[in-house]
Amino acid sequence: MSFKSSLRIAPIVRRLLLIALAVSMVTALGDFSPVALAAGDRFEKRFPTGSSPQVILTNDNGFVVVRGVPRNEVHVVATKRSTGVEIDTESVGNRVRFDTHWLDPNMKPFERTVDYVLEVPERAAVEIHNVTGRVKVEDVKGNVNVDALNSSMELSGVAGSMILRSVSGSMTVSNSSGRIEANSISGDIQFNNLQSQSIDASTASGNISYIGPFFDNGKYALSNYSGAIDVVTPEDSSFELDARSVKGSVQSEIPLKSKPHYNLNPTNLKQSLLGIYNDGAASVHLSSFSGRIRIRKK
C-alpha cells in the first residue's frame, strides 16, 4: 500500500472509530441518537448545590434525561446539533436554570435540537419545559413538573408530587409514589405499579391504562372523552368503584358488591357501574363520554 493510499484511508478509519464510539455511548445512555452524539457540539458543566435545589430546564426540541444521584451538585451534559444554538445557565442560591435558544429564527427544527442529560441531587425539585422530543425522569424524590407540547414522558422512581401536561405526547409513570396530576389532549397515559394514593389523570382522545394496586384511603380519578380506560388490579385491592360512560360501555371482570345508583339520568347515561370490591378502602372514579371502560383482575 502506498503512502498516499494510507493518507486517504486514515480519515475513513477515524470516522469509523468515531461512529463506533457514538454507538457505544448510545448503548450506555439508552436515550440519544448516534447523529446527535457523533455530529453534535458538546456542552458540560457542574453546579454545586444544596441537597434539595430547584432545577429548571427550558428546551425547544430534543431528548431530556434527568437522574437523581446522591451528590449535592447538578451535572449537565448537552449535545447541540448546531453551533447556532446557545445554552444559557444561571445558578442563584439553590436554584439552577438552563435555557436553550437559537440565534437564527429561520433555523430548521433539526438544527434547534439539543439533547440533555442532567444528574441532580435526589431531593431536587425538577421543572422541565420541552416542546418536542422525549423527557425521562428517574429516581428523583422531589416534586417534578413537566410541561410539553409533543414530547413523550417517562417517569420512574419519583417520590415527590408530579404535574404532567402535554398536548399529544404520551405519558408513562412507573414505580413511583408521589401524588400525580396528568393532563393531555390526545396522548395516551399509562400507570404501572405505583404506590401513590392520589391520581387525577385526564386525556381527551387518548387511552388510559392503570396496572397495579389501589391503596387504602387513596383517591383515583381517570377520565377521557373518546379513548379506552383499562384498569388491571391485584386480587387483594380494596376500593369503591364509580365507573360511568355516556355513550360507551363499562365492563368489569371482578366481583363487586352492589351499590345503589344516585343522581343518575338513564336517558343520558348508557352504562354505569357502582360497587365495592373487598372492603372499599380506596375511591376509584372512571369516566368517559364515548370510550370503553374495562376493569380486570391481575
**pLDDT value at 122 more than 80:** yes
pLDDT at 206: 97
> What percent of the chain is predicted at pLDDT more than 90?
73
How many Å is the Cα radius of gyration of the chain? 24
Band of residue 39 on the pLDDT scale cut at 50, 70, 90? very low
Q: Where are the domains of the chain?
A: 3-30
Tell me the CA distances in angstroms from 227 to 186, 249, 286, 296, one per residue in order.
9, 11, 12, 17
**Who's near 138: CB < 8 A, 6+ residues apart?**
65, 66, 67, 68, 155, 156, 157
User: Is a pLDDT exceeding 60 seen at residue 250?
Assistant: yes
- Give the rounded distance of the alpha carbon of 206 from its chain centre: 15
Hey, how many other C-beta atoms are within 10 angstroms of the C-beta on 285?
Answer: 15
From the centroid of its chain, how far is CA 122? 17
74-96 CB burial, b ≥16 within 10 A, e <16: bebbbbbbbeebebeeeeeeeeb
The strand ranges marked E within 93-248 are 95-102, 114-121, 125-138, 144-148, 152-156, 162-166, 171-174, 180-184, 189-192, 198-203, 208-211, 219-224, 229-233, 239-245
Task: Work out the average pLDDT over 64-85.
Answer: 95
In the predicted structure, residue 241 carries a pLDDT above the cut 50: yes
CB 291 within 8 A of CB 271: no
pLDDT reported for residue 22: 40
Strands 219-224 and 282-288: parallel
Give the pLDDT band of residue 29 (cuts 50, 70, 90): very low
Quote the mean pLDDT of the chain: 86
Average pLDDT over residues 151-169: 97
Whether the predicted pLDDT of 20 surpasses 50: no
